[in-house]
Amino acid sequence: MSTPRVQLLIEDQHVVMDNGILQVTLSNPGGIVTGIQYNGIDNLLEVLDLETNRGYWDLVWSQAGSTGTTGTFDVFEGTTFRVIVENEEQVEISFTRTWDPSLEGKFVSLNLDKRFIMLRNSSGFYSYAIFEHLADWPPFNLPQTRIVFQLRKDKFHYMVVADNRQRFMPLPDDRQPERGEPLDFPEAVLLVDPVEPEFKGEVDDKYQYSCENKDLHVHGWICFDPPTGFWQITPSSEFRSGGPLKQNLTSHVGPYTLAMFLSAHYAGEDLVLKLNPGEPWKKVFGPVFMYLNSVMDKDNALSLWDDAKEQYLKEVYCWPYSFPASEDFPCSDQRGKISGRLQVLDRYISHECIAANDAYVGLAPPGDVGSWQRECKGYQFWTKTDGDGFFCIGDIRTGDYNLYAWIPGFIGDYRNDTVITVTAGCEIDVGDLVYEPPRDGPTVWEIGIPDRSAAEFYIPDPNPKYINKLFINHPDRFRQYGLWERYADLYPDGDLVYKVGHSDYKKDWFFAQVNRKKDDGTLEGTTWQIKFKLDDVDQSGAFKLRLALATANVAELQVRINDPKIDPPHFSTGEIGHDNTIARHGVHGLYRLYNVDVPGTTLVEGENTVFLTQTPRTSPLQGIMYDYIRLEGPPPPDSKETL
């Protein structure tokens, strides 16, 4: 049986794409999605809101030289509408806004081209955008760009982000002042008088549903009457900023579903795109797929999530798509491939190289070691190694890259110093690569697991006043609101003391070193102690303290050895970080590694103490999270005899 062809209806104020399965209406020439008709529902988008608030691309920009992660919010609308492709199999339409000098100060200096695609027999539609800045145009900062869809609040009540993060959600009305009480920051609201009593006493916060890029594939909402799903599917992260561990928003109360491309969340200003004077730039964001599905029986409505996951796999199989008409989106035969094997050499573990299994290996624009996590102008391509350390990355855009990697279980970052040039159709074999992680001597003691996360440390139960029921007895228990306040409850007078050989980091190392809130409401910095014994100290030798931080937020970590009052301290990071991870219910932001020289003269036979002080105390949300700490002893006289 033949399926209906794709049709395009152009009106004065609107444009309609229709393939017989769904109908998508956009403003003309603005390119705002004003309506989606599907499964007998006349519009899946919020009909009670303005047309401009239903389905849109937006960005945040600021003047070059400015600081911070905020700026001018712009739901950018096209001024010109064009038909790019129109046939029975496909429609692709474009809404462009072209920059010229008369717009300086009013709009960001970008040519913006929003594209929408509908295919025959496809239960959804695609969108992508091309951002272009010419070298002689004014530079600017770009903290954020994304796609937003606001669905009907009378229809979509069940939200799904992952297999273990799905639930019925409060209404947007419940966040209003008469029904909700704002907490320490506006995103977090205590529901005191929700429309549905079952949500009373819960905290709603969109950041509780954040997700790392490597896992951020498909999310969305389910309507039960009629049983209908609306999903945002991202088959590739190549166009997202920050690499595989960058965390982004997904879906949240509204009901909203987002496709985040650029954001500074969990990173701060380090992930604000900043163009320099004279710097040209062009980037394609997307395509992403808005997928709609349905079933007949309400009792099977939750199966729509399983179907959406299957559709995601189909989209991945088709990536890179062959149908986008822009020459700026290269298809598969215009891309390249790279393969190789990654090994690790740590002579205090093995004399021989060992396979870097489950390592993250990626190509990102050339930069410093670890720069991929702060990179936001270009494209990144990542994979994981197999059990023998082999990796293969396909469908890489042409260009110059460094190869980066990091390996769970080992500190630090790998970067291959050779700039790799990828050309159309190339197949590059880089052979065997060896990562030698930072290491000066044998391990005296260690705390935690080097995996760039604080998840293995002690995560307290939340204050009963601030519960999200989804995260009770949940693997992601760190997503509960207000856990930073629990430190003062657990340590009301003195700070954490960890005794090597006796303490258990899973129970005795609080997941975040934060300020203590005193009874009078003031804050004080905290000093944690690590106590350990040494039977013998080579005072002429050099010890090394490795401090891997999972995140930092307007913090300063000072290190003192055996003298808590020495000034200046033996080591200080200076003020670091604007990750805001503590407030946003995460266990990592940007990874930082500090290597502290510890002269043997600072240590003694018997009991020693490392004092870790977090000093700034202007906010309860300041602090750090540790990934892993290790003290290394002096290297043995014969450096080859290391085991």
The predicted model gives 24-36 an average pLDDT of: 98
The sign one gets for the Cα dihedral 96, 102, 107, 110 is positive
pLDDT of 463 higher than 90: yes
pLDDT of 253 higher than 90: yes
- CA geometry: angle at 339 spanning 334 and 340, to 5°? 160
How far apart CA 399 and CA 421 sit, in angstroms, is 6
pLDDT of 639 higher than 60: no
Which tens digits make up the pLDDT trace of 50-91?
Answer: 999 999 999 999 999 999 999 999 999 999 999 999 999 999
Side-chain-side CA neighbours of residue 575 (13 Å): 6
pLDDT of 410 higher than 70: yes
How far apart CA 548 and CA 594 sit, in angstroms, is 6
Q: How far is CA 218 from CA 56, 311, 312, in A?
A: 18, 9, 7
Task: Name the 3-class secondary structure at 169.
Answer: coil
Residue the block writes with tokens 């040039």: 421
Confidence tier at 637 by pLDDT (50, 70, 90): confident
**Six-digit token string for 22:** 């769904």
pLDDT of 218 higher than 60: yes
pLDDT of 642 higher than 60: no
pLDDT of 462 higher than 60: yes
The predicted model gives 177-199 an average pLDDT of: 96
Confidence tier at 1 by pLDDT (50, 70, 90): low
- Check residue 305 and give its pLDDT: 98
Number of H-type helices and E-type strands within the chain: 3, 45
How far apart CA 434 and CA 420 sit, in angstroms, is 17
Q: Is 304 exposed, middle or buried (0-12, 13-18, 19+ CB in 10 A)?
A: buried
Q: CB neighbours (10 Å) of residue 430?
A: 16
Confidence tier at 641 by pLDDT (50, 70, 90): very low
Q: CB neighbours (10 Å) of residue 545?
A: 21
Which tens digits make up the pLDDT trace of 314-351?
Answer: 999 999 999 999 999 999 999 999 999 999 999 999 99
Write the CB contacts of 50 (distance below 8 Å, at least 6 apart in sequence).
none
Mean pLDDT, rounded, of the chain: 96
The predicted model gives 448-463 an average pLDDT of: 98
Confidence tier at 636 by pLDDT (50, 70, 90): confident
pLDDT of 3 higher than 90: no
